[in-house]
Amino acid sequence: MNLLLAFSLSSWAAFASAAITASESSTAISVGNGRLAFSVNKGAGTIDRLSLDGQDLLGSGGRLYLDCHCDSGYWNGGSFQLYRGTDKAGVAHAGVRISAKVDSGRTFESYYFLRDGETGLHTFGRVAYPNGGSLGEMRFLFRPSSSIWNHLSSSDEMWSVLPTESGRTTVQDTTYRISGDGVNARYRTQMSDYFSKYMFSESWEYHTHHGLFSDGTGTRDGSTYGAWLVMNTKDTYYNGPKWSDLTVDGIVYNYIISNHHGNGNPDTRNFDRTFGPQYYYFNKGAKGASVNDLRRDAGRFGDPSWNADFYDSIAQYVPGYLPTSGRGTWSGRIGLPASVTKPIAVLASNGRDFQDNNLDTKSRQYWGEVSSSGEITIPRVAAGTYRLTVYGTGIFGQYVQDEVVIRAGATTTTTATWAPESAGTELWRIGTPDRSCGEFRHGNELDSTRINTPKQHRLYWAVHDFPKDFPDGVNFHVGTSNITRDFNYMHWSVFGGKANTIRPEPYYTNVNTWTVTFDTTAAQLQGKTRATFTVQLAGVKTSAGNTDDTNKAFANLAYTVTVNGRALPVWTIPANQSSSCGARSAASCYNTHNKWTFDASYLQQGLNTFSLSLPARATAPESAVLPESVYLQYDALRLEVS
């Protein structure tokens, strides 16, 4: 029996080994496993040929590569290393490292590994900056020029045909009005009259994969195909679950570093970091299979434990990849507030907001949903010291605990009780604290005029014409008004003007100041001395946009609240919390908040009036075609007394 097993195992290993082919010439390295084959072009430093079961997936001029906005921009060539081996399970693999030295001794490396029996590439990206400097973007791109790819998919709900560039007109930076017949007409009935790469952006919080789909039109035998980026690991990205970025627009991205939606760029002093692995997965389906059929198949790999043994086997080739021996398990027992839903526990950079962990060169990050009974287990956490943050829908604020130590090879259990923040008796709240403006007008409301009913915030913002929706401005009366109708998802200073082709003239009347009214009874105020007003923001765009640039007017943005005519201290929202958010189709970006505490005597029995103001006519020049107004997006607001 044992002998038989040993025999069959070793003969299988030999067969597996034989099934990987790899060859190198002065101009190319080619690797294949009988189904998936790729070739690295040494002159370009990119993968320029990729096929599955004989179907060309890239087309002529298409490529898969790592790209950066470093000082010299796009980089070519470099040095090349071919690896071949057999992993612990006896399965053969081959891999290629593309390594380039650019300005000031900086190193950029991409790694692609193919395993026998799989139809995807395991990718790692490494960047080393010995002396600091700008690193604005870093991303892998599967950039086909083949016409087989005719659908986009970023979630089960968010998919459509891919419109063509023919006849389109620019309405905003990388945002187009789509015209014409055929596929473009289909796009308009499925999704929108407009297309932007930001419409398919996603937050990493729950995201697992995105990609391109071919419905079989133009493939060799009519089979359907998919090209997916699967985030099987997320621990080397930054900004925790609140990272939000582009996923697919005809290119299948793996965004590693960017400042989109308020994402932070890393501190590059003494920087040497390897990102990944992530998995570019290619699949083939029967004729007539749907985008979500192939999407579901790709979703199987969105798990950090998947292929962990294989990654241990190749760790010797990938500097900075942390094998299983350097990892432990974290287990949480969290006393949760009774009314919380979707509680998320995050382990990230000790001593700082997880949204800012880009400033911690070595930071790793992990998160997951806590069960309703308060339990969570996260495997494969890098040994180290972390801040634990717990937040969830329905609860203002969050729970924070530093100095959570994870040891390699061990399970660490943290017991914690999240007592929700409170400043007395709640008189009212507007919105649901969930780090998003989705519950307000044009947020997550579906656009039922289109077959695929996209969430309205994903559309080109100008279609949500504020002056038409709110001719008298926002006047919200607590208790009778309706947040889905009477509270807009974006609070503008000015509506219209640049980047708004529907309302090209700026509109100012009743835009920058919103009014919230409510009634209080004598009993509610009886014996109360302090009032606390809390504003949580899902996102805010000061004139700094996605940069931290403080040179323009309104870069640090003044937000003013008055209570029955009395002004509270101005909240100046700093430029480094700014993000280009709603204008880039997002309902949640960099989150921030403020609390005002004031004498309860400002409140009165009967009708009370709060005004919430951005500075009037607060615009600053934009070099790109983008709206020049500042704006913010509320998560939730509440008033408490004690």
Ligand X SMILES: *[C@@H]1O[C@H](CO)[C@@H](O)[C@H](O)[C@H]1NC(C)=O
Helix (H) or strand (E) holding 543: none
Handedness of CA 364, 370, 374, 378 (dihedral sign): negative
Closer Cβ to ligand X, 356 or 640, answer by number = 356
Number of other residues whose CB lies within 10 A of the CB of residue 561 = 21
Closer residue to ligand X in complex, CB, 251/516: 516
Of the pair 577, 613, the CB lying nearest ligand X is at 577
CB of 468 to ligand X, least distance (A): 14
Q: Give least dist CB 602 to ligand X, A.
A: 29
By C-alpha distance, which of 208, 203, 268 is closest to 240?
203
Q: Closest distance between ligand X and the C-beta of residue 260, in Å?
A: 16
CA angle 293–297–300, rounded 5-degree value: 145
Q: What are phi and psi of 317, to 5 degrees?
A: -95, -15
- Tokens 């996209």 belong to 454
**Whose Cβ is closer to ligand X: residue 174's or residue 576's?**
576
**CA torsion, ordered 147, 151, 153, 156, to nearest 10 deg:** -150
C-alpha to C-alpha distances, 434 to 234, 340, 388, nearest whole angstrom: 22, 10, 18
Whole-number minimum distance, CB 457 to ligand X, in Å? 15
Task: Report, in Å, the least distance between residue 555 CB and ligand X.
Answer: 10
Q: How far is the CB of 472 from ligand X (least distance, A)?
A: 17
Give SS3 for 26: coil
Residue closer to ligand X (CB basis): 575 or 583: 575
Q: Is 482 helix (H, G, I), strand (E, B) or coil?
A: coil
CB-wise, 324 or 444, nearer to ligand X? Answer: 444
Q: How far is the CB of 618 from ligand X (least distance, A)?
A: 19
Which positions touch ligand X (CB under 6 A)?
356, 482, 484-485, 574, 576
Q: Report the distance separating Cα 12 and Cα 86, nearest Å.
A: 12
Q: Smallest distance from the beta carbon of 635 to ligand X, in angstroms?
A: 19
Q: Around Cβ 81, how many Cβ atoms within 10 Å?
A: 14
Burial of 95 (0-12, 13-18, 19+ CB in 10 A): buried
Q: How far apart are CA 207 and CA 227, in angstroms?
A: 16
Q: How far is the CB of 60 from ligand X (least distance, A)?
A: 45
In angstroms, give the least distance from the CB of 276 to ligand X: 25
Angstrom distance (rounded) from CA 621 to CA 639 = 36
Task: State which residue, 211 or 262, has the beta carbon closest to ligand X.
Answer: 262
Q: Give the Cα separation of 282 and 280 in Å (integer).
A: 7
Backbone angles phi, psi at 3, to 5 degrees: -60, -45
Rounded to a whole number of angstroms, the minimum distance from the CB of residue 427 to ligand X is 20
Here the tokens at position 446 are: 């579906």
Nearer to ligand X, 329 or 453 (CB): 453
Task: Give residues with Cβ within 8 angstroms of 616, minimum separation 6.
Answer: 493, 508, 512, 513
Q: Which residues contact 346 (CB under 8 A, 6 or more apart)?
A: 240, 241, 354, 365, 366, 367, 388, 389, 390, 391
Query: What are the angstrom distances between the C-alpha of 396 and each of 163, 211, 337, 531, 577?
Result: 41, 35, 11, 16, 19
Tell me how far, at minimum, the Cβ of 268 lies from ligand X, in Å: 14
Phi, psi at residue 430, to the nearest 5°? -125, 125
Residues in the chain: 642
CB closer to ligand X out of 484 and 501: 484
Q: Judged by CB, which is closer to ligand X: 299, or 574?
A: 574
Choose between 517 and 576: whose C-beta lies nearer to ligand X: 576
User: Among residues 482 and 623, whose Cβ is nearest to ligand X?
Assistant: 482
d(CA 246, CA 196): 10
Q: Least CB distance from residue 642 to ligand X, whole Å?
A: 30
- The Cα–Cα gap between 123 and 92 comes to 17
Q: How many angstroms separate the CA atoms of 537 and 551, rounded?
A: 23
Judge contact between 79 and 89, C-beta under 8 A: no
Q: Are 228 and 247 in contact (CB under 8 A)?
A: no
Minimum distance of ligand X from residue 374's CB (angstroms):
30
Name the residue nearer to ligand X (CB basis): 368 or 574.
574
Q: Which is nearer to ligand X, 220 or 485 (CB)?
A: 485
Residue with tokens 């992993």: 87
Nearest distance, CB of residue 623 and ligand X, angstroms:
23
The radius of gyration of the chain's CA atoms, rounded to the nearest angstrom, is 26
Helix (H/G/I), strand (E/B), else coil: 226: strand
Nearer to ligand X, 171 or 257 (CB): 257
